[in-house]
């Protein structure tokens, strides 16, 4: 497969690899420092991360039962129902630029407090990079280390035991002693920084398209006429290899290796000897297209282009469910761009990168029956998606990588009384009138919130546009609350004679306005607040309780 075909096959890919002065395994490869550059400059890397667009994400709920009857006017103006998930975009990462060319993100591997992002270049050039993003603090993610290369595309990554393993395509015109352009390899990582011990291992093919691992073994695949292989994690020596045509993606789960071929469909392999456990018929995939697979317990999910996501039983091979691509009614899209490029799992939710149709969400019950669908309001196309259940990373070509946080507050013993409340399933514009007493629990994303009466919420509540606690209103919040969008006039207003009482975390992406006579009360010992905008605390307002002001903006 040519590099041009590789560009189509790997719509999003990973950038980087660094060199080593001592290459124990492949001494014949004469790496030079000028080909691989590591950047740990804090001030320089700070500029690649942007807050533009950070804040509460709108989710349009489109369930199977009401999709046909909804119109765009209903979705946008007539107060649609909320979705059962709360999301915040916390930052966007600009991709590396190598030799004047902006790279494309191809893959993300999340491990603990770090996310490893690979990049590549479409076309004939071999340009790539890898970022290490520190996600310890959701209010302050940052790129800790970046490596770029002018001879290597990076397509996938896997982290284990202090090493970042990667799949790649290498310019063998520069590294003449490499037998194949397809390579797997590794680099050691210490405290969020790359070390200069990059190693390469050629495998048959023009590009290594995916990599995974288990125990002390690495699984690698190369596309077109390539191979599925098992390799020793310490030495990268070959243990077993099998030739399989048109490989696209692999996943390890439920003690199986799942392998997706564009022409052969899905197959389950024994991880010990690469014997075939079963074959699963899936639709043929378009040539030169990136697709991914993911395990959900014993089910295997496949991104199937214009067909959406297919869900199959990994043991029997039976088809369990088909998730169509979710499109807002009357939205205008180019049909050729409406394809599911990637699929990932976040708890009970299935996340779909649907190209020009954006970022879709589906929720299945315990019987794999569809119970909820939604579309997340993101600008641009969604070409790749990956989640660890707490964070979601969405790549959009050269438009950057979005870091999204799933709001999942811990519920402790102080929340026991909340179990009796109903889960909120109402409209996205919530008004609590002065004579009302309302209490709910769950995860909800609202457009607007106005509290004039007595309101209690337990769990996660995100308000996209703004929230007002009106005169004599009382809002008791237990869990996680986020308000607004960075750089816009989406404020949290606590007015005269009103009280916002919170036990948990409060994030305000706009401004916090405490009018005279307003009270902001923190309950417990572990509550926190972070305000990205301005705090306007008028005389006569009070802030009481124990809290951690991570933005240092309260008086």
**Is 29 a member of any domain?**
no
Which of 355, 378, 406 delimits the end of a domain? 406
390 shares its domain with 424: no
401 shares its domain with 423: no
492 shares its domain with 396: no
184 touches 217 (CB < 8 A): no
What pLDDT score was predicted for residue 411?
Answer: 53
What pLDDT score was predicted for residue 63?
Answer: 54
Residue corresponding to tokens 């290597």: 152
358, HSE (Cβ side, Cα atoms, 13 Å): 20
Enumerate long-range contacts of 307-312, CB under 8 Å, 24 or more apart: 307/283, 307/340, 308/340, 308/352, 308/354, 309/340, 309/343, 309/350, 309/352, 309/362, 310/282, 310/283, 311/364, 311/368, 312/266, 312/280, 312/282
**Is 27 a member of any domain?**
no
399 shares its domain with 434: no
**Is 283 a member of any domain?**
yes
Residue corresponding to tokens 């015109």: 173
CA distance 238 to 347: 35
Closest CA to 420 of 454, 456, 474: 456
Determine how β-strand 114-120 pairs with β-strand 128-134.
antiparallel
pLDDT at 84 over 80: no
Residue corresponding to tokens 């550059």: 37
Instruction: State how many domains the chain has.
Output: 2
What pLDDT score was predicted for residue 398?
Answer: 64
Which of 406, 437, 453 delimits the end of a domain? 406
What pLDDT score was predicted for residue 151?
Answer: 93
CA distance 376 to 323: 16
370 touches 361 (CB < 8 A): no
What pLDDT score was predicted for residue 13?
Answer: 33
Question: 183 in helix, strand or coil?
Answer: strand
- pLDDT: which is higher, 59 or 367: 59
How would you class 44 by CB atoms within 10 Å of its CB: exposed for 0-12, middle for 13-18, buried for 19 or more?
exposed
**Is 475 a member of any domain?**
yes
Residue 440 domain boundaries: 418-549
Please indicate, yes or no, whether the overall pTM of this predicted structure exceeds 0.85: yes
pLDDT at 40 over 70: yes
What pLDDT score was predicted for residue 7?
Answer: 38
Minimum mean pLDDT range among 382-396, 410-424, 426-440 = 410-424
How would you class 175 by CB atoms within 10 Å of its CB: exposed for 0-12, middle for 13-18, buried for 19 or more?
buried
User: What is the residue-averaged pLDDT of the chain?
Assistant: 86
What pLDDT score was predicted for residue 176?
Answer: 76
**Is 4 a member of any domain?**
no
344 shares its domain with 473: no
374 shares its domain with 447: no
340 shares its domain with 300: yes
Residue 223: count other Cβ atoms within 10 Å of its Cβ. 30
281 shares its domain with 365: yes
Number of residues written out for the chain: 555
319-374 pLDDT, tens digit per residue, is: 999 999 988 766 677 777 889 999 999 988 999 999 888 899 998 887 777 888 88
Q: Quote helix, strand, coil % in the chain, to nearest 5.
A: 5, 50, 45
pLDDT at 53 over 90: no
pLDDT at 14 over 60: no
State residue 100 phi and psi, 5-degree precision. 80, 5
For the chain, what percent of residues have pLDDT higher than 90? 66
186-218 pLDDT, tens digit per residue, is: 999 999 999 888 999 999 999 999 999 999 999
Determine how β-strand 547-549 pairs with β-strand 293-296.
unpaired
382 shares its domain with 476: no
262-321 pLDDT, tens digit per residue, is: 888 999 999 999 999 999 999 887 766 778 999 998 999 999 999 999 999 999 999 999
101-133 pLDDT, tens digit per residue, is: 999 999 999 999 999 999 999 877 899 999 999
What pLDDT score was predicted for residue 22?
Answer: 34
pLDDT at 410 over 70: no
444-503 pLDDT, tens digit per residue, is: 999 999 999 999 999 999 999 999 999 999 999 999 999 999 988 899 999 999 999 999
**Is 20 a member of any domain?**
no
**Is 5 a member of any domain?**
no
What pLDDT score was predicted for residue 68?
Answer: 40
CA distance 279 to 256: 12
């Amino acid at each position: 497969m040519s590099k041009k075909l590789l560009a189509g096959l790997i719509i999003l890919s990973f950038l980087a690899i660094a060199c080593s002065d001592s290459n124990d395994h492949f001494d014949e490869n004469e790496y030079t420092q000028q080909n691989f550059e590591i950047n740990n400059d804090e001030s320089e890397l700070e500029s690649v991360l942007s807050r533009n667009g950070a804040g509460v994400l709108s989710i349009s709920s489109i369930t199977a039962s009401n999709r046909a009857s909804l119109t765009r006017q209903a979705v946008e103006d007539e107060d649609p129902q909320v979705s059962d998930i709360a999301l915040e975009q916390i930052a966007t990462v600009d991709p590396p630029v190598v030799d004047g060319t902006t790279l494309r993100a191809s893959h993300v591997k999340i491990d603990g407090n770090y996310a490893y992002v690979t990049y590549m270049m479409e076309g004939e050039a071999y340009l790539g990079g890898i970022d290490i993003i520190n996600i310890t603090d959701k209010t302050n993610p940052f790129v800790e280390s970046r490596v770029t290369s002018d001879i290597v595309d990076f397509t996938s990554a896997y982290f284990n035991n202090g090493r970042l393993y990667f799949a790649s395509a290498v310019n063998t015109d520069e590294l003449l002693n490499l037998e194949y352009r397809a390579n797997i390899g590794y680099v050691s990582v210490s405290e969020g920084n790359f070390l200069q011990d990059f190693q390469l291992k050629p495998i048959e093919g023009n590009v290594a398209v995916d990599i995974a691992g288990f125990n002390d073994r690495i699984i690698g695949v190369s596309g077109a006429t390539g191979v599925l292989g098992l390799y020793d994690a310490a030495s990268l020596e070959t243990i077993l290899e099998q030739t399989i045509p048109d490989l696209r993606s692999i996943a390890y789960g439920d003690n199986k290796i799942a392998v997706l071929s564009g022409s052969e469909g899905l197959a389950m392999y024994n991880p010990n000897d690469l014997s075939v456990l079963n074959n699963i018929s899936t639709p043929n995939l378009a040539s030169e297209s990136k697709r991914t697979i993911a395990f959900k317990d014993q089910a295997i999910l496949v991104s199937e282009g214009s067909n959406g996501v297919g869900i199959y039983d990994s043991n029997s091979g039976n088809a369990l469910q088909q998730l169509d691509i979710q499109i807002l009614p009357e939205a205008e899209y180019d049909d050729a761009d409406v394809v599911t490029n990637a699929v990932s799992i976040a708890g009970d939710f299935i996340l779909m990168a649907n190209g020009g149709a954006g970022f879709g969400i589906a929720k299945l019950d315990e019987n794999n029956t569809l119970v909820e669908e939604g579309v997340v309001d993101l600008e641009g196309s969604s070409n790749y998606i990956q989640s660890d259940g707490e964070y979601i990373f969405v790549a959009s070509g050269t438009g950057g990588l979005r870091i999204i946080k799933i709001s999942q507050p811990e519920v402790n013993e102080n929340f026991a009384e909340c179990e009796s409340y109903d889960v909120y399933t109402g409209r996205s514009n919530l008004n609590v009138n002065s004579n009302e007493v309302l209490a709910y629990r769950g995860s909800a994303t609202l457009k607007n919130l106005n509290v004039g009466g007595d309101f209690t919420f337990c769990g996660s509540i995100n308000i996209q546009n703004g929230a007002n606690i009106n005169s004599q209103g009382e809002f008791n919040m237990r869990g996680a609350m986020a308000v607004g969008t960075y750089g816009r006039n989406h404020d949290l207003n606590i007015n005269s004679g009103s009280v916002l009482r919170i036990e948990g975390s409060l994030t305000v992406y706009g401004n916090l306005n405490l009018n005279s006579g307003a009270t902001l009360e923190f309950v417990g010992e572990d509550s926190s607040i972070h305000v990205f905008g301005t705090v306007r605390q008028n005389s006569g307002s009070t802030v009481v309780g124990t809290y951690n002001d991570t933005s240092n903006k309260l008086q």
